[in-house]
Each structure stands twice: as C-alpha cells, then as structure tokens.
A and B are shown apart, each in its own frame.
Chain A
C-alpha cells in the first residue's frame, strides 16, 4: 500500500507463528501495521522456524528504523533535526537516494516529503475538507528536490518532514526476500519462498515445475473477500489504492492519493492499482506513480510494459 495507515505499528514482541500447510510452511507475524506471511516449500521444521524468525527480525528492524511513529527511529531523528546537515548511515542514504531518483523519474509526483499534508487532510470517510489556505500554507514545505544529499549526509530544510511510508514496506519485502535467499542458499538452494507483507509480496523462488503461487488481491470496496486471484511464478506484486481511506463531500469522492504539487487529491484515479515487477519496491513505486497520474493511470501502466491490474 502506498501510504502508512494511522494505526500504531505492532511492537516486535508480537509472537511469530509457524504452521504446516498442504505445501510446506506458513510463518505469520505482524509488522508495519500489516499481517506478514512467509510461505515456504517443504523443508524441515527447524529450518522453517529459523528462516521465519530471521524474516520477522529483519522486518521489525526496518520498521523500528524507518517508522515515523517512533520517536527513536532514524527517520524521526532526521525529522527532528532539520535545517542542518546530518550524517546518514549507508542504508538510510540508499533509501533517500532511491527516493530522489523516484522523485525525478515521476516528474515530482512521487515525493516522500508530501506526508506533511496529513496535518490538514484526515481521511476518515467524513466530509471535512481542509480550506484552500490551510493546504496552500503547507506547500512551501513540500518538494524533495529541496533536500540535499551528499555521499554521507543530508540537509533537510527546516519545517520539512520525510515519510518513508510509501516505500518502507516494499523495501522490507525485498530485503527479507534477499535475506531468505542468502540464508537458504547453501542449505536448501531450491526452497520455494514467498514474502507477503499485507499484499505487497515477492516470490523469492518459484515452486517446482513453474507451478504459480496464487495470491488474492483485495477489492477496495469489499475488503473481506479476494476480488482477484493472481498467479505469480516469480517476481513481486505491490498494490496501491484508496481502499478504505477517502473523504466524501457533495457527491465527490476525495481519494487519499494527494498530488504533492497542489496539495489536493488526484482526480479520477483508479481505486486500486496492482503492478508486477522484478522487485517489490519497483512494483510499489509504479503502482503509486500510476495512481498519481489520475485519468492517465492506465496509459502510464501500459507504457511500462509490465503486467498490471486496475480496479476502478
């Protein structure tokens, strides 16, 4: 999903559950306000438990580091010390550099500094729209091109705020996938593996004989039933949409997809976009950027020449 929900993230003490499935193993835990699943092919139980524990630890690590809800997170620390140069560790730097590339590639539409608009936009299903003035007052503090990056530091202008909610979960999926790949490489080099964090997922290794993983995608209007069953052999899937977060006034539905340039919701955006790509961050980025195109979402997706699903 594109934007973080307002729910508090589950602390890392949430237990990890491992259960046997018809095919292999299912590890479940919660991270980043999402149910997280690790699907494994047949292997011994100890191995499955170790892999799932490593996956959960990595997800919780990333959550603790990049959550804007935690005062102690690296991200919160960055936001608390704006207006000065700050040293970054290599992982944070990589994420900011990646965000910058996405900002440039999307012509400024994908912007991790746009989260500040939450101060005036509350997507609670009500009809409480903010005033034009309130939105306009925030625009000077949006624009990731104003953030300066060097080989080891960042300068975030005072008053700005970064939010990695748009990529942290997809990033966690890819990192966990990579970790599981490495951990299993020497012991079970052909173990089938899927990482699924609340619908953002990566088939790390396919099932034998290219038998696809079948994944359900939630319908925006009917969150409790799977609207689509997607067959995934390898690669990633990510979904962006306004399933449950919107405002409704005078017959107009205001999606929670905000245009960082105007501060107002994007008009006529699809309800949900799912993209298949080699990595989850890439799929997520494309899904979000597609939504930000509004009416041109489908045209944009077709130009990417990647498999995608759109729910209007």
Chain B
C-alpha cells in the first residue's frame, strides 16, 4: 500500500496539537486554594497628589467556582480620601476668603494660589456581586448588583450581560446593560444654580446669614439615573494575538453638577467680584469605542489599547494605554506601563465668567471637564510564589496638564496660574491567593 501523499507530518502535527492542547488541564493546575473552589485577589493602593488629595484603597476580589462553569464574583473596595480639591475659583493677585460648602466656617487662599477646599475627608465602601453561568451551548449569562456608599453619596445599580461563543470559541460576541441610581446628599444641601457664595461677615446677624444661606439651597439631596449599553466582540487572531472591540453607549439624567464647585465672576481687570455655584446640564449622552490587543511575542506579553470617548457635552477624549510584560529569570516579570490621555473641554466649561455679561444656561470651571492632557508612567514588578500565588508591586507617576481652551485672560488673570498641573504618585501592592 502506497500513500498518495507521502509526507503527513505537518498535518499530523496539527491534529496532535489540537488533540492534546484541546482540553487543557487548567482545572487541575490551580494554585493552592485558601477555600476550595475560591480564588482571591487583594490589593492595597496609595495615591498622593502634590498638595492635594491623597487616597488609600483596599480591594478584595473573590471568585467562587460552583462547577458546571458557574461562578460567583464578589468585589469589595474600601477607600479613604483626604486632602484638598480645586474649587473652580480662579487664583488672584491677592488673598481670597471662601465659605466652606456646609456654610459653617471659612478658609483663606494665599495670593497667586489656586483656591483649594481642604475639607475633603471621606470613606467609601463599594460592593459588587455577580453570578455567571452558561444558559445554552456557547451562551453565557452574567447578572449582578452594585452598591457604593460614602458620607454624602449613595450609588445602587444592577447589570446583566450575555456572551456568545462561536467559530470554535475563536469569536465571542457580547451584549450588556447596566442601570444605576446615584443620590447625593451634600452637607449644607444642594446649592441653587448660580447662587453666589455667601459670607457671614456681609450679614448683620447670624440668623440673617442662615436665612440667606438656606434660601440659596434648592434641596437637601438630588439624584441621577444612568443607563448603559455595551456591545463587544473578542476575536482570536492567532494563537499569539487576541483582539477585542467594544462600543458603549450611556445616558445619564438628573443632577450632574458638583455642589462644591464654583465659577468666579471677574471684572475687566481680572479681579473676582463673586463666586457662583456651578450649573451643568441634567442630561448627558456618552459613547465610546475601545480597541484592545493582547499579543504574545518573543516571550513577552503586550497589552495595547485605544479608547475614543465622546459625549453631547462636547467632551472628546483619546486614551492610549500600553502594558508590556517581560519575564526575567524564572518566576519574575517586569511590566512597564505608559498611558496617554487627551481631552477637549465641555462646551459649558468656563474657567471664569465676565462681569456684566448675561449668565449662560450652564457653566462650570471644574478643570476635570476642561481641556487637558495627562500621562502615566509606571512599572510593575511581579513574581509567582510557592503555591502559585502572585505578588506584585506597581509604582506609577501621573501628571494631569489642564490647558487654556482659548479664553482671553483679562488683567490680573494673565499673571496668575489658572491651569496648574496636578502631579501624583501611586503605589500598589497586589497579592492573589
């Protein structure tokens, strides 16, 4: 008997590979578990901005395997935030006094300094839970809930998604939705739109001030609802290349102003006349596209992604994020991280308002919705310990550079720093068990 095609090695190699690699032993190769069937990831993060906010955060994530591809995911985050945050008021050639958001007490900002409210102190607890399981062949469903509480903020949400594997699991299509309801109950209440910051000294009596302050407050609390839709496609391009593409759409309705932020009204000489509480639209429609590549090449792992986000506030942003993992020695790896971010300003972003001009419908001087770019440079060093536990340390430097979106600076404002950079360092230690 003579074979028609004598050399069958290549075809046989492919078939053998598929046979042996087809059913992986991943389930038997698991690390030593603390609780049978559960995997835990923990992390501690410290974040510090120069002269501004510092935060400490602890994360504990658990994933329980209930067999038959059913999993329960739990995620707990506790963080504390302290420090100072920009109020939106402009720096001035002279010292400035501000009333605290609660209406009780005041603070002073030195000449030439960006006004910061240093009363931030908050603790946040966030809990997410989700259940995932197959509901038909090649179809997985996930349903979950979200709870987050801090002193003056409560967020509740539900979410669900479906993932459909096809093309021998080389392609996964997914669709997801999330609904959330956020309620803010700031100390001192919600300021009415464009009401001026009041000063006790300008009033004849304590009760006159209190009456005026109460009148400037619309409500004790306010809320917003957000609906999100997510469509995703994941494609195996080759055995060393995975690509993901996501599109997301979200619609938020309700209170989206920041009750602690003001906009300065300046005269032609650039001198602040008063500070008005900001006002943002009560609707925001946001969309984004996200493209991610995970590539294995020459023993290294590259994760490269790009996101483009745009909304009906005219904010557009581009994010490029790269993490590249290089194995060094047996169990160690080093992973540099570089991220570039660039954003255009919301159409109602105003670093300040001019005296004598009609008030716009909306205005905010919050630099976070202004024009800016940002960079992150970091490195992570990780190792796999006995028993398969991962230990990693990540150190990052982050810099935000707000820029002038093309506003002419009158008088004194030309000589002060209106768009100061924010610099931060971040240290994270993570451990899986």
Which residues of A are in contact with B by a Cβ distance under 8 Å?
54, 90-91, 94-95, 97-98, 101-102, 105-107, 109, 171, 174-175, 178-179, 182-183, 185-187, 189-190, 259, 261, 266, 277-279, 281-282, 285-286, 289, 292-294, 296, 299-300, 303-306
Contacts and interface: CB of A to CB of B under 8 A. Distances in A.
B331 A186 contact: yes
Interface residues of B, number: 33
B392 to A, nearest CB: 14
A51 B98 CA distance: 70
* A-B interface, 10 closest residue pairs, ranked by CB to CB distance from nearest: A182-B29, A303-B6, A282-B16, A101-B15, A105-B8, A98-B19, A186-B388, A279-B16, A174-B20, A304-B9
Contacts of A299: 6
Interface in B13-59: 13, 15-26, 28-29, 31
Given A174-B19, A286-B8, 6 more contacts: A98-B15, A182-B25, A182-B26, A182-B28, A296-B1, A304-B9
Contacts of A187: 386-388
A106 B386 contact: no
Contacts of A98: 15-16, 18-19
Nearest to A285: B12
Contact of B330 (A190, A259, A293): A190
Given A98-B19, A281-B19, A185 B13 contact: no
Contact of B2 (A54, A185, A296): A296
Contacts of B22: 90, 94
A303 B330 contact: no
B384 interface: yes
Contacts of B2: 293, 296
B13 A278 contact: yes
A282 B29 contact: no
Nearest to B330: A189
Given A90-B23, A182-B25, A259-B1, A286 B17 contact: no
Nearest to A305: B9
Nearest to B4: A107
B12 A105 contact: yes
B363 to A, nearest CB: 56
Contacts of A186: 31, 331, 384, 387-388
A155 to B, nearest CB: 19
B431 to A, nearest CB: 15
Interface in B372-393: 384, 386-388
A102 B29 contact: no
A66 to B, nearest CB: 13
Most buried by B among A171, A277, A282: A282
B359 interface: no
Contact of B12 (A185, A190, A282): A282
Interface of B: 1-9, 11-13, 15-26, 28-29, 31, 330-331, 384, 386-388
Contacts of A306: 9
Most buried by A among B3, B5, B18: B3
A91 B23 contact: yes
A178 B25 contact: yes
Taking chain A's interface residues, is the majority helix, strand, or loop, or is none over half, making it mixed? Answer: helix
B28 A94 contact: no
Contacts of B28: 54, 179, 182-183
12 contacts: A94-B18, A94-B19, A105-B8, A109-B3, A178-B24, A178-B25, A182-B28, A182-B29, A187-B387, A279-B16, A281-B20, A282-B16
Given A54-B28, A182-B29, A102 B23 contact: no
Contacts of A261: 1
A106 B331 contact: no
A183 B27 CA distance: 10
B196 to A, nearest CB: 63
A169 to B, nearest CB: 14
B30 to A, nearest CB: 10
Contacts of A305: 7, 9
Contact of A189 (B23, B25, B331): B331
Contacts of A91: 23
Most buried by B among A190, A278, A289: A278
A125 to B, nearest CB: 26
Contacts of A292: 1
A28 B21 CA distance: 25
A80 to B, nearest CB: 24
Nearest to B17: A279
A271 B433 CA distance: 54
Contacts of B29: 179, 182-183, 185
A171 B19 contact: yes
A101 B17 contact: no
A287 to B, nearest CB: 12
A54 B30 CA distance: 13
A263 B330 CA distance: 54
B19 A95 contact: yes
A105 B20 contact: no
Most buried by A among B6, B13, B384, B388: B6
